[in-house]
Structure formats: structure tokens, C-alpha cells
Structure 1
Amino acid sequence: MMKFAFMSFSCPELTLAEMLSLARNTGYDGIEPRAGSNHNHGVELTADAATRRALREQVTESEIEICCLATSCRYADPETVQAEIDSTLRYIDLAADVGAPRLRVFGGKIGVGVLREAAIDNVAQALAAVANHAQDRGITICLETHDDWCNPAHVAAVMTQVNHPAIAVNWDIMHPVRAGGATMESAHDILQPWIQHVHVHDGSTRLDKLEMLPIGTGDINHFLAIELLHADNYTGYLSGEWINWEPYAVHLPRELAQLEIYLAEIALEEAA
């Protein structure tokens, strides 16, 4: 059975304890803190060992999971890649210390004049450099379909080159359809061997401006995405990324209810 989470973008003002309580009270299984964005959850590189132990105790006591720690680590730029690798190694330790099994990263913007093949090599080599440490700490690093990496084929090329069990994909189901030239089916089929985390959010597919919309009212076919994942026996998280949107008391219950409706409809179809 798939599980549900939300990112701290929904409630950047809340502490970790408050986020965990919110998840429990609204029926979510997990939360996804976004590090490095001035959110109030405290899951940051600056947290000392005692703070990390206290945060982990809060998670354990709540029975809500930190399903993923989201970062902005990115690797396409050869000028900054070593610093990003160093940062990733520190984030791996942070994720392990607070009990988050996954770490979200980006490919990053590709510089002017840099060929796609070279960028694929850069990202793959960077991920390979951190893969063993991630595996040793029990962390799966999930490269998101995002920024200059919305085309699923480019992400798949990185995965194929790295070929490491600790390196996987965070399938943001919006970006490949909106900006990567893919359909929902083609994105899924290309990425399927590596999908370990999923971001959900609905909106328009206009490239000039993204308008966030309630799931089921926009252009992103969440029912189809969930149907495809269900056929894979995916049991990971669908994590809502709702940035600068409505108050969390409005959108968190509503979006979860719609996702649960889709799962129920799929179960009925399967039983028919």
C-alpha cells in the first residue's frame, strides 16, 4: 500500500514536533522536511549531535516517519560539484542521524556550452562518489525529475551509468509532463526501475506560469500516475510538494482525501 506525506513547504513555520502532530492529526503517514530553506523544523546541517538525537526521538515517539530529507544538492556544474559532493556527504549523515531513509537531490542547471552528455557524466560521477557512503548509512539518494533534468531519458541515463543500489529516482510526476516532453506513461516506463520516491502536486501545464491547483482539477493526471505505480506494487511515499500555496489546514486534508479516492477507485477496478 502506498503511503502519504507532505513537505515542509506546506507549513514552513512549524517545528518538527508540530509537523509530526499535524501529520498524525490529518492522516498522513510521513513528512518530508526541506533543508536549507529557512523552515522551522530544525533538520539542518547545523544541528549538533544532541539536537539530532532529540529530533529522532520525536519522530520515533510520534510513529510518523520522516520519509525523505529534501535538499538542494546539485551536480551538473563542474565549478561547484566538489562542494556539492561534500555537502551531500554531510546531508547523508544528517538523514541517517534523524532516521530519514531517503535524501532528495537535483541534477542542477547545465551551464551554457556544456553538452548534455558531459552533464550526464558530471551528475553520474558525483552520485557515484557519494553512493557507498549513502549505502553504509542506510540512505537512498533520490535524483528528482526537476530543473534541467525533467526529461526522464536524461535521468535514466544517469541511473544506468551510476548503477548503484543506493542511487534512485524521485519521480516528480508534474515536471516531465510539463517541461520534459514526456507523457505520464512514458515517464513512468522509463524511470520505473529506479523509482523510490514520488512527488505529487497538480497545476496547469503552461510553461510561462505554474498555477497550483487542487489534485484532480489541473492538467497532471494523478489517477494515471497512481494506477501505474500500483501496477508496480509500489509501496513507497506520495509526498505533496505545495509551495507558497493555501494554508495547510485547507490543502492538506483535501489533497489527501483525493489521493485516497484514487487508490480506492483503483482497488475497485482491480476487484471487478
Structure 2
Amino acid sequence: MIVTAVTNEVFPDASADSLPKIFKRAADAGINHFELRLVESRRFPAYDAESWERLKSLGKDYGITYTAASPGLFKAGLDSDLMVLHTKYLLPMSLELAETVGVNTMIVFAPTRSAVAQDGEFDRVVDILGAAVDIAAERGFTVQLENLPGSWADTSDDCLNLLEAVNREAFGYVWDTGNLYEAEQAHFRAGYDKLKPYIRNVHLKDGAIENGEMIWKRYGEGVTDVKGQVEALKADGYTGTLVLEAATKPHHIDDFPTSVNQLKTWL
């Protein structure tokens, strides 16, 4: 398994000086793979020109491999202006800029559910995701669906329904048990076996629901059973990425090294 960091989860700093701190801290932990999300407070691909140059040059200096990019694609309602913007502009721009840093994997989300479900919405979601996968695949990309509460890919069953309906070879799944627990409040085993054939990427996130809100915690301090998740993946011979989402809220400076050390004991 490839232990991977997220650009905004390693160090609680979003300034123009943050990338050297982030990459050095990860290197000190033996990590040189990164998933691109927020850089200097901006989400991929909307970095300013100087941020892009720092990302490229420092990536070379530290021997970084960028494994995937997450622009927040399709985090919008089906009928919102944002959905049009994401489909026509954000998707092609994300693909083009990802290529400049050697990324060929794009993470997407399912659109947000309507307050009142309308006939035909599921088919529209399938069409949007299928079209995006086809566009990405033509450029040599694979696409990964990340589950998120409130979206059409919130619970294990709903993720499975979309993965089966889109049915593209280039379409896989980001298994985020923290987000799954927030959506269905069930142990990961409830959906793992059915989703296992589609898992291409894993987000490790621990937390617990307190006063009706999901609170993110360091590994081993929540109820989402990151230890069991890692053990299940090891037992099944998973060889893909394990992405550390170790930041609590507020983000403490010791979150990343504490959770990395805990993860190493499980690996």
C-alpha cells in the first residue's frame, strides 16, 4: 500500500511559505506521495501562477509523486449554475492542469441531492458522471468517485448503485469510511464487501458524531475503526493508495505526526 498525504492535511499553514513545511514534514515521515486538493488556501486547479510554480519546483526537489487531484467536481445541485460551470469548464481545466504535474487520476463527487427527489434524477446523475468519465478517459485519465454525505453517493448502497450504473472501466471508487460513517452511522463492514471490487483509492479518516455533528479526530480516537479498515485491506491484498486525512478541527500542529505514527503501528 502507498501511504499518501493530502496537501492541506499535513501542516496548519495556508501561506505562500507552507509548501516547503508540508513537503519536509511528509518526507521526515517517509511519505513522498501526495493527493492534490487545497494549496495555499486555494482548491485545485484554481491555484495562482506562483503557487503552481512552487508546486512543480518543490515537487521535484522533494521527489514528490502526485497521485490524484480533487477539484470538488460536481459538488452542486443538478439544476444549479455551478453544475453547468463544472461540466463545461472546471472538468476540462482540471484535466489539462493535472497533466502538467503528471497526474492522471481525477476525483469527482456525485451531485447534491435535492430536498425533494424528482423523477429521473438518478439517471441524470449517471449521465453526468458517465460523460465526465468518457471525457477523462479519452485523455488517459481514470476517474474515482468519492462518497460524501448529502450527495447521490452518500451511503454504501447508493455508491454501489452509481458505480454499477455508470459502468465504465475507467471509473472506480474512493473508499472514505469517515464520510460513510457520517452518512449511515454503520461500521465499514456493512458495505465493504459489496464495494471492494471498485476500490481504487482509500481515504483514512477517523471521527465520531457528537451533538449531532461529525467531529474529526486523530487515528484511534474516533469510532470509524481505521485500524480495522487497514487490517481488512491488508488481508485482501490491497496495493493502492492510503490517503491520510489526519487533520482535526481546529487543525493542530501535531495531528499529522501523531496519526502517521499510529498508522505505522497498524501497517
Q: TM-score, normalised by structure 2?
A: 0.83
Partner of 1:169: 173
- 1:222 deviates by 0.9
- Rounded Cα–Cα distance in structure 2 between residues aligned with 1:245 and 1:228: 30
- 1:6 deviates by 3.1
- Rounded Cα–Cα distance in structure 2 between residues aligned with 1:34 and 1:58: 16
SS in 1 for 2:214: coil
Are 2:5 and 2:244, in contact at CA under 8 Å, matched by a contact in 1? yes
The equivalences for 1:129-168 within 5 A come to 129-148=131-150, 149-168=153-172
Residue in structure 2 matching 1:222, options 221, 226, 230:
226
- What is the identity, as a one-letter code, of the residue corresponding to 2:201? H
- Rounded Cα–Cα distance in structure 2 between residues aligned with 1:136 and 1:243: 38
Give aligned-pair identity as a percent: 22
Q: 1:258 to 1:225 in 2, by over 3 A?
A: same
The equivalences for 1:17-166 within 5 A come to 17-35=20-38, 39=41, 43-45=44-46, 55-74=55-74, 77-80=77-80, 81-86=83-88, 87-115=90-118, 118-148=120-150, 149-166=153-170
Cα deviation 1:38-68 (Å, max 9, x = unaligned): 626x8534656x9757744532442222222
- Rounded Cα–Cα distance in structure 1 between residues aligned with 2:252 and 2:186: 31
1:192 is the counterpart of 2:196: yes
- Rounded Cα–Cα distance in structure 1 between residues aligned with 2:197 and 2:258: 31
Are 1:95 and 1:139, in contact at CA under 8 Å, matched by a contact in 2? no
SS in 2 for 1:210: strand
SS in 2 for 1:63: coil
- 1:171 deviates by 1.1
Are 1:96 and 1:139, in contact at CA under 8 Å, matched by a contact in 2? no
Cα deviation 1:78-97 (Å, max 9, x = unaligned): 32333221212221222222
Cα deviation 1:5-62 (Å, max 9, x = unaligned): 2341443515444432332123223222324x8626x8534656x9757744532442
Are 1:75 and 1:123, in contact at CA under 8 Å, matched by a contact in 2? no
Structure 1, gaps ≥5 residues long: 264-272
- 1:118 deviates by 3.5
Moved more, 162-171 or 237-246: 237-246
Higher helix share: 1
Moved more, 55-64 or 146-155: 55-64
Q: 1:160 to 1:143 in 2, by over 3 A?
A: same
1:231 is the counterpart of 2:232: no
Structure 2, gaps ≥5 residues long: none
Partner of 2:251: 246
Are 2:182 and 2:214, in contact at CA under 8 Å, matched by a contact in 1? no
